[in-house]
Amino acid sequence: MSSVANSPQITYVVSMPQPENHYFHIEITVKGLKGKEHDWFMPVWTPGSYLVREFPKNVTEVRAWDLDYVTIPVHKKDKNTWTIAHNKKDFVISYSVYAFEESVRTSFLDADRALFMPSSTCLYPTELDVPVTLKFIPPSVSSEFNLSQVAVHWKDISTPMEQGSDPWTRICHSRDELFDSPVEMGNHAVFPFKAGGNDNYLVMTGEGNYHADTLVDYLQKIIDEETAVFGSNPAQPYYFLVNNTQQRGGGLEHKFSSAIQYSRDGYGGDSYKSFLALMAHEYFHIWNVKRLRPEALGPFDYSQENYTTSLWIVEGFTSYYDDLILQRTGIYSKDEYLSIAGRNIHNVVNNTGDVYQSVADASFDAWIKAYRPNENSGNVEVSYYSKGGVLAMFLDMYIIGQSNGKYCLDDVMRAAYDRFYLQRDKGYTEAEFKAVLEEFAGSSLDNFYRDHVHGTLPLNVNSFVSNVGLEWIPGEADKTAWFGMRVTGNNTIYSVQPDGPAAMYGLNAEDIIVAVNNVALTEGFETIRQTLQPGEPVQITVVRRGLPKTFTVVPTINPRPRFTLQPVASPTEQQKMNFRKWMQEEH
């Protein structure tokens, strides 16, 4: 890798002359690059989203010329690499990128806004790691760069990138910094606030039924609470880049920002708590994965999969803390949080995939399974988010119990952050992170890792929750007819469980239910199901590959009863103290 002192000057000019056509036009001017030819690559994935997305598929018209406008040969070396034979001269690379997938992982451009994700737009010299400058030209700046027939007047740009000579000129000091810095452009609202000792910015793109002052107040509490877990906050400044839309929500973490997508109507009533949990999750990642990380996740190989068995720590621990932090800040009441925790446990222990796939294997196979689900995924796979979150909860309770309330998972996270990031800025091995857990538990976790991380043995819930004075008890059985299938709102069978009546009697995923007991469906199947009785045969008519078929199915009672998480009737004094430690009531 080239040193900064001897590095070439690399400047990206990013223009959007016709944003309604969804193309970014990019010119890279390169000065002082030694040698006759160099490879330039584009990532095929973006950190935090573990799927090879083949970003170069959207690249067109890659050309190059020297500063005298003489064409320079460009050779496509492989799917994401171009060789530029510049023969020691300064030169320009020009290309276009199509960007019309609105998500938190991909670049997007239309006449209303742009999300510029360098990981899916920027070519970069393969053998170098040097600073670069980016100059963004919004479509309304000049006639030279405005070919649009649509009235576009963008005023705002928000990004964690360092500002250069003006707000539309930005500087990144390394390859990883470039690929980790999203840029939101258009006309959006910016709400600055202080929290965690740092400057923070809530950037809201699009209309929504949110109340900014309320959200900022809660975000301040969340950031301060999460900072207390780790003892210091490295994210100065930090940007929440929120796109309010009709589509599903989601988020993607970055070192100094997060890209968030959320329903524009999703802030009313208690729905805003889901938004805050999402924000708490993404912000917790500034420590857990962006700095404290498995050894496979930084430095990155952007051209292929980066395998790790520890996504259950990266995402699972973060999923555990996003709800726990909302309880600590008072956004969730104690009872509300216990209900959420119980539901999370229920979903994990009743997942049929839990006997087929370990959480370590789920982490490793994220590249081929987690982001490519099909109708059978729920039967044979586990989520490293969900099960990882429950394992984090159980480890927290176990550590509290083993230490008689002296330590909790916070101490593990703080120590791991200090040792693996602050002291050496190097990823941890599985054994190293396990050793920190064992240090605070005061006992071996070999059996836990064997049975529940790398194994698929059932979890003994009460052995963990009893540490903090809770118990896992069965609730009332669901006595409605159970078919063992998931049906969508348009009455299409999405999936069938292999041990359920639907599968036993021949129903398939993708069957469209059109009649029950010879009566055409005029409402959702779920409504009809609740009127049926277990043990009584039901005639179900479906359309399968265009042809009608009728099946006689005998539903049963759901064999997986719902359990609830409740305080024990007569907790010991130690359990009471442990519960207060878990809830951070002394904090």
Q: What percent of the chain has pLDDT over 90?
A: 93
* Tens of pLDDT, residues 102-124: 999 999 999 999 999 999 999 99
Partners of residue 26 on adjacent β-strands? 14, 95
Q: At 531, is the secondary structure helix, strand, or coil? A: coil
Q: At 559, is the secondary structure helix, strand, or coil? A: coil
Nearest to 487 by CA among 531, 522, 527: 527
* Tens of pLDDT, residues 184-205: 999 999 999 999 999 999 999 9
- pLDDT of amino acid 180: 98
Nearest to 189 by CA among 171, 166, 207: 207
- pLDDT of amino acid 5: 54
- pLDDT of amino acid 249: 80
Residues in the chain where the model's pLDDT stays below 50: 142-143, 587
- pLDDT of amino acid 316: 99
pTM of the predicted protein model? 0.95
Determine which helix (DSSP H) or strand (DSSP E) holds 213, and give its type and residue range. Answer: helix 212-230
Nearest to 188 by CA among 175, 199, 179, 201: 201
| Interatomic CA distance for residues 320 and 385, integer angstroms | 9
Q: Would you say 139 and 168 are in contact if contact means Cβ atoms under 8 Å apart? A: no
- pLDDT of amino acid 142: 46
Paired tokens of 181: 């810095």
Domains annotated on the chain, with CATH: 9-186 (2.60.40.3650), 189-284 (1.10.390.10), 311-475+563-583 (1.10.390.10), 485-553 (2.30.42.10)
- pLDDT of amino acid 107: 98
End-to-end CA distance of the chain: 47
- Burial class from Cβ neighbours inside 10 Å (0-12, 13-18, 19+) for residue 519 reads exposed
Range 327-333 contact pairs with CB under 8 angstroms and sequence separation of 24 or more: 327/583, 328/225, 328/583, 328/584, 328/587, 329/218, 329/221, 329/222, 329/225, 330/221, 331/218, 331/221, 331/222, 331/273, 331/276, 332/273
Q: Would you say 88 and 35 are in contact if contact means Cβ atoms under 8 Å apart? A: yes
Q: Would you say 37 and 84 are in contact if contact means Cβ atoms under 8 Å apart? A: yes
Which stretches of 329-444 are DSSP H helices?
334-349, 359-364, 377-380, 386-402, 409-416, 430-441
